[in-house]
Amino acid sequence: MPFPNYPNKYAGEAVMKPEDTIEMRKRFGKFPNVKPPKGLIFCLKNDLPKTLRWRVPIQKAGKVMGDMFLVKKTNGSVGVLSNFGIGAPVVVSLAEEMISFGVKRFIILSWGGALQKNLTAGDIVAPDFAIRDDGVSRHYVQSDERAYANVDLKNKIEHELSKQNVKFYSGGAWTTDAPYRETKEEILAYQAENVQIVEMEIAGLFTLGQVRGVQTAAIAVVADSLANLTWQMPTDMKRINQSFEIAYKAAIQALMQE
């Protein structure tokens, strides 16, 4: 959607810059005193890094609006950020800071609501694209409906999932800021466009990746479902938790590759 009152919005220079925010955080001791990892996982399942720390050892690196860890077996080349909240605004803001810090590759590990009837709780989706129905991405580029994953990074994810003999789905994600405004008409339309899931962050990160020239990709684990035009919550978390562990390990391995 264009901004008719500000036709030069996308060419304008922003006043607030992420490097300034980093300096402020450092001044108040709120930024990790480590080298920037080459790759970073935005983990929307807040307890995952600590829950899996015996199988995937981590080192606490500090705070950046959440908990930042370094994965030990990667010698600091892969970081994990969790417990920072939800939604595209927070993910994009943190990604801006991490890009300024020196991070070049990002994978968001997220929950999703199924839009396709064949998906069930615990299924894994590696989206090719995301529908930009969020309020953040349009501040970076104009009216394209879709933002895309980096092909090379997405291929690495798919390779790692395939090595584990894990079934996964490709297609789209629908990113929206308004979970209570996911209408039946939209669900039906996106089902026809091979959109697999609905969530709240992916399009923002994909758009930022395209604008800033960094690699971005996503893995989403299906939790609830809207595919039958009613909300169906998961009956238990066992398979969902198992899939998050699989996706987490695949994301780390993908980011370790050059």
User: What percent of the chain has a predicted confidence (pLDDT) above 70?
Assistant: 98
Of 10-14, 107-111, 170-174, minimum mean pLDDT range:
10-14
| Mean pLDDT calculated for residue range 5-11 | 78
Neighbours of 151 (CB within 10 A): 11
Q: Which two tokens stand for residue 153?
A: 């990074």
Better-predicted residue by pLDDT, 65 or 48 = 48
Residues 6+ apart with CB under 8 A from 112: 125, 173, 196, 197, 198, 199, 220, 221, 222, 223
- The answer to whether residues 224 and 113 touch, using CB atoms and an 8 Å cutoff, is yes
List, for residues 132-152, the tens digit of each pLDDT value.
999 999 999 987 899 999 999
As a CATH number, domain 16-256 is: 3.40.50.1580
Q: Can you tell me whether residue 201 is helix, strand or coil?
A: coil
Q: What pLDDT digit, counting tens, does each position of 185-194 carry?
A: 999 999 999 9
Domain regions of the chain by residue span: 16-256
Q: Which amino acid appears at position 50 of this protein?
A: K
On the question of pLDDT at 153 being above 70, the answer is yes
What is the SS3 assignment for 198? Answer: strand
Burial class (CB in 10 A: 0-12, 13-18, 19+), 24: exposed
pLDDT at position 240 = 98
